[in-house]
Amino acid sequence: MNTTIPPLKAGELVALAAPARRVSPEEMAPAIATLQSWGLRVRVPEGLYADEGQLAGSDKHRAALLQGQLDDPEVRAILCCRGGYGTVRIIDRLDFTRFAQHPKWIVGYSDVTVLHSHIHATLGLPTLHATMPINFPDEGENIDLQMLRATLFGERMPALEWDATAMDRPGVAEGELVGGNLSILYSLLGSRSQIDTRGKILLIEDLDEYLYHVDRMMQALRRAGMLEGLNGLIVGHLSDMHDNAVPFGRTAEQIVLEAVERCDFPVAFGAPVGHCVGANCAVRLGEKHRLECSNSKKSRIFAP
Domain ranges for the chain, please list them: 13-152, 160-302
Residue 117 among the catalytic residues? no
Residue 116 among the catalytic residues? no
Model pLDDT for residues 46-100, shown as the tens digit of each residue: 999 999 999 999 999 999 999 999 999 999 999 999 999 999 999 999 999 999 9
Instruction: Say how far apart CA 222 and CA 17 lie, in whole Å.
Output: 33
Does 160-302 carry CATH code 3.50.30.60? yes
Contact 78, 51 (CB under 8 A): no
Q: Which of 120, 237, 275, 289 is catalytic?
A: 275
Torsion of CA 31, 33, 38, 40, to 10 degrees: 90
- The pTM of this model reads 0.96
12-31: b (≥16 Cβ within 10 Å) or e:
bbbbbbbbbbbbeeebbebb
* Fold type of domain 13-152: Rossmann fold (3.40.50)
Residue 52 among the catalytic residues? no
Q: Which of 205, 209, 253, 292 is catalytic?
A: 205
Model pLDDT for residues 231-286, shown as the tens digit of each residue: 999 999 999 999 999 999 999 999 999 999 999 999 999 999 999 988 999 999 99
Instruction: For residue 274, give the nearest of 147, 141, 109 by alpha carbon.
Output: 109
